[in-house]
């Protein structure tokens, strides 16, 4: 069956050669955007870098345009395609006046690698699938923070107003403790010097948040990624089985046709 021009464009734009070329352009553009942050580099090669920026943008726009032509309305059925067009579209807006901040957003083009590299895309899809479960973990973590926040404010606010003077300050301090960032020397030891039994408060909080709840996050994400991997393997196996079944059916049809021809000859 002869392919239409649109089908040929679709096949070409999705070919490994073109996709690898786009990946190379994205990585190259990330390097040039990093070079633009250097004043000395811009003094020496500012104009070539600006020309490269325009060429890269032209390549991205051409790719999007070809995909829009090849896929038509099907282009917008994929969230990854919409993501691509938003990232590229940001660069087309004028980066002057109040929109000057958009120049800093050009580096977001690096995120297009997520749409080009299958393994990265599967990781993001797994994270998105894990959001409902992560939401419940966040709710549990919020409860723990609130309980310890109220307790910490009531226990330590009088002597340590900077860290525990209000509920908001206490929650911020507890976040520092959870990340284990200078929590011992900067937070817990000064409090324990005044309140000797405060170690029970801090150790309990660290055990619950840093070791239990955060490990639940990791467990959920790993479990979701494993499920996605198994589903992908099952899908590929089903596709192979379907292809093999179709080949067998085609062979049976050919055999029947040959038998019919032989019968007619006899």
CATH number at residue 69: 1.20.120.350
Query: Per the confidence metrics, is the pTM higher than 0.85?
Result: no
Residue 54 in this model has a pLDDT that exceeds 50: yes
pLDDT over 90 percentage in the chain: 18
Confidence label for 154 from pLDDT (cuts 50, 70 and 90): very high
107/138 same-domain check: no
Which tens digits make up the pLDDT trace of 107-120? 777 878 777 777 77
Which tens digits make up the pLDDT trace of 55-84? 988 998 998 899 888 888 888 888 888 888
* pLDDT for residue 13: 86
CA 83 – CA 115 distance, rounded (Å): 8
Average pLDDT on 15-41 reads: 87
The last residue of one of the domains, among 86, 116, 146, is 116
CA 181 – CA 184 distance, rounded (Å): 8
Cα–chain center distance at 97: 31
**How many Cβ atoms from other residues are within 10 Å of residue 29's Cβ?**
22
Judge whether 135 lies within some domain. yes
Total domains present in the chain: 2
The last residue of one of the domains, among 116, 140, 164, is 116
99/35 same-domain check: yes
Q: What's the token pair of residue 101? A: 């901040």
CA 174 – CA 15 distance, rounded (Å): 51
Pairwise pLDDT comparison (97 vs 7), residue with the higher score: 7
The last residue of one of the domains, among 116, 145, 175, is 116
Cα–chain center distance at 121: 7
189/103 same-domain check: no
Which tens digits make up the pLDDT trace of 201-238? 999 999 998 888 878 888 888 888 788 777 777 777 87
Judge whether 257 lies within some domain. no
Range of the domain at 139: 131-248
């Amino acid at each position: 069956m002869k392919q239409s021009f649109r089908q040929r464009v679709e096949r070409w734009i999705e070919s490994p050669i073109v996709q690898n070329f786009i990946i190379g352009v994205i990585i190259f553009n990330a390097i040039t955007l990093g070079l633009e942050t250097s004043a000395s580099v811009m003094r020496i090669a500012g104009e070539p870098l600006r020309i490269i920026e325009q060429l890269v943008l032209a390549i991205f726009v051409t790719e999007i345009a070809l995909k829009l032509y090849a896929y038509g309305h099907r282009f917008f059925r994929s969230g990854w395609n919409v993501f691509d067009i938003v990232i590229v579209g940001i660069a087309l807006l004028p980066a002057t006046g109040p929109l000057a901040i958009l120049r800093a957003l050009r580096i977001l083009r690096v995120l297009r690698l997520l749409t080009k590299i299958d393994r990265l895309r599967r990781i993001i899809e797994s994270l998105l699938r894990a959001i409902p479960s992560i939401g419940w973990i966040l709710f549990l973590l919020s409860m723990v923070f609130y309980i310890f926040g109220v307790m910490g404010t009531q226990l330590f606010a009088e002597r340590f107003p900077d860290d525990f003077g209000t509920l908001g300050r206490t929650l911020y301090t507890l976040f520092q403790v959870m990340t284990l960032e200078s929590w011992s020397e900067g937070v817990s030891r000064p409090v324990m010097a005044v309140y000797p039994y405060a170690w029970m408060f801090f150790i309990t909080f660290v055990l619950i948040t840093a070791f239990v709840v955060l490990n639940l996050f990791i467990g959920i994400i790993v479990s979701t990624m494993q499920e996605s991997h198994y589903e992908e393997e099952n899908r590929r196996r089903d596709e192979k089985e379907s292809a093999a079944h179709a080949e067998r059916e085609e062979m049976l049809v050919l055999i029947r046709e040959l038998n019919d021809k032989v019968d007619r000859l006899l």
